């Protein structure tokens, strides 16, 4: 199988001139639910966060399905597709970027961790998180604090909270109004 990394760029996005220049990006590992992916695409558009989707997804990944889930924000988000984790890893290694995994299995708290301005922050599948071999490739793992005896938070909320803290720490909100 040929590995690829493909930017999914829209005309309005180019017109707006909002391409990410080595800022914090969000990575979705094989998302199961189109609505969560759409929510995170909209979040990415609103906060200037590029979104990477690692295939396969648990839903038909097409412009039409993304448009339904992401409303009218699809052309305003920088979206990268990677046909496998191996393709994503190749991209990441070439770019020299650190991978931070949000997981319930981490010892480090997300609000105690020192983020860098070019981190790639990954969230896992809604149904299963990420496999151990993917978690092992992460440079760091962080967890969101939660009440005991609860399994996990919705992946879209988790991604937004992690990105928000990382952008806050690295002063990447200054250009937003």
Residue stretches of the annotated binding site = 124, 144, 152
Report the alpha-carbon distance of residue 53 to residue 91 in Å, rounded.
12
Q: Do 50 and 78 form a contact (C-beta atoms < 8 A)?
A: yes
Positions at the binding site for S-adenosyl-L-methionine:
124, 144, 152
Three-class SS of residue 121? strand
Q: Do 5 and 82 form a contact (C-beta atoms < 8 A)?
A: yes
Closest to 27 measured CA to CA, from 126, 163, 143, 122 = 122
Three-class SS of residue 153? coil
Other Cβ atoms less than 10 A from the Cβ of 8: the count is: 18
């Amino acid at each position: 199988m040929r590995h690829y990394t493909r930017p999914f760029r829209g005309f309005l996005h180019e017109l707006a001139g909002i391409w990410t220049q080595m800022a914090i990006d969000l990575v979705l590992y094989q998302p199961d639910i189109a609505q969560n992916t759409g929510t995170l695409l909209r979040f990415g558009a609103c906060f200037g966060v590029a979104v990477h989707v690692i295939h396969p997804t648990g839903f038909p990944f097409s412009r039409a399905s993304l448009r339904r889930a992401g409303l009218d924000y699809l052309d305003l988000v920088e979206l990268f597709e990677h046909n496998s984790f191996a393709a994503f890893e190749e991209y990441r290694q070439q770019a020299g970027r650190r991978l931070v995994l949000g997981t319930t299995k981490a010892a480090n708290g997300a609000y105690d961790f020192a983020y860098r301005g070019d981190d790639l922050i990954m969230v896992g599948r809604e149904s299963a998180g990420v496999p151990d071999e993917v978690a092992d490739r992460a440079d760091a793992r962080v967890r969101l604090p939660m009440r005991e005896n609860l399994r996990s938070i919705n992946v879209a909320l988790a991604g937004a909270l992690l990105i928000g803290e990382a952008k806050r720490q690295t002063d990447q909100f200054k250009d937003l109004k």
